[in-house]
Chain A
Amino acid sequence: MPIRQTIVFLTIALLLLAVIVELVRRRRLRVEYAWLWIAAGLTNLLLILRYELLVDLTDAVGAVIPTSTLFFLCILYLALLSLNYSVRLTELTRQVKELAQEVALLRAEAAAREAPVRAQQDAR
């Protein structure tokens, strides 16, 4: 890979990693979601610094040019990421449902407790 390309990509990869780490540090990104992003950032770095790894991988999977291997890996990564989001969304949906139901049940309980008190107040 030409040296200018390496410098550009290296800068981008390092910036990305820095942003991820900073987000985690400020607790804007939870640690359990961060590892996926950090893994992606590190893979980026590795492939920029050791381009021959990508060439080897291309040979290994039987692809012709390294760019197609790269694109394939990116798409696979994004697909897995969306799947991961769907799973988390499912869990969140369930949690929101349970919470909303609990709110409704507790409200009714509170109203039932308040009713006798209110009746007393009204009587006064």
Chain B
Amino acid sequence: MSRGVAGVLLVIPAWNESRNLPEVLGELDRERPGEPRVVVDDGSEDDTGDVARRHGVTVLRLPLHLGYGAAVQTGLKFAMRRGHDVAVTFDGDGQHDPADVAPLVEAVREGADLAIGSRFLASAAYRGGFGRRAGRAVFSALARVLTGLPLTDPTSGLKALGPEAQRLFALARFPDRFPDADALVLARRARLRIVERPARMRPSRNRHSMHGGLRGVSYGFNMLASLLVAALGREADLEG
């Protein structure tokens, strides 16, 4: 496999985002012109794929709705096959700011395997509801304990991945529901170098927020279980 020749690839997972995508892609065009990007259409029921295609972006159309983690994973497999030395995951719902991509790419180019955009290192305060804040506090604490790193925002979807991180995240058995705190624990166990950079998060303009209401409760339980599996799993599973 060729490595580190094709530069940066932006991976944009999108599920029923035809309304938000034009603005997200337009903003990326202005901030980061000419950079290859791929929209992973996660089995959308609207015309997300067509919207992206009309914008001249490569589309990976999943025939089924697999969920956020598996959609991101699809994009990372694409990045690996094309030999991109940095893959940046960037949500299709408009909550990430294209200006935050450059510092993450730079961090990977400076030797990190995985750079995470943290809303808590940024000056603009991000809050969210009580449930979210409580859940995030718990998982941040667990991630800090389990990784031994001072991570502030393990649930961030804005990440830059070098070749080693891409390989790990593309493993068949990698957590593919919402890879966040559990993914970081695995990354740490695989001895990847993880850093955080400040990132501004805007409220998601999406009607189907990922962790709202009862989903939040189910997410909490799943993540807890996934974290334990990540921490106690077999070393051999990190090899693929």
Contact = CB atoms under 8 A, between A and B. Distances in A.
Contacts of B73: 101
B172 A104 contact: no
Contacts of B40: 104
A70 B59 CA distance: 57
Contacts of A103: 62-63
Contact of B63 (A94, A98, A104, A108): A104
A104 B173 contact: no
Interface string A81-113: 000000000000010111011011101100010
Given A104-B60, A104-B74, A107-B61, A97 B173 contact: no
B62 A100 contact: yes
A105 B60 contact: yes
B17 interface: no
B176 A108 contact: no
A89 to B, nearest CB: 15
Nearest to A109: B81
Main secondary structure of the interface of B (DSSP, over half): mixed
Given A94-B172, A105-B74, A105-B77, A112 B62 contact: no
B90 interface: no
Interface in B50-69: 58-64, 66
B70 interface: yes
B15 interface: no
Contacts of B38: 108
A105 B81 contact: yes
Nearest to A96: B64
B139 interface: no
Nearest to A94: B172
Contacts of A97: 66, 70, 176
Interface of A: 94, 96-98, 100-101, 103-105, 107-108, 112
16 contacts: A96-B64, A97-B66, A98-B172, A100-B63, A100-B70, A101-B62, A101-B66, A101-B77, A103-B62, A103-B63, A104-B40, A104-B61, A104-B62, A105-B78, A107-B61, A108-B78
Interface of B: 38, 40-41, 58-64, 66, 70, 73-74, 77-78, 81, 172-173, 176
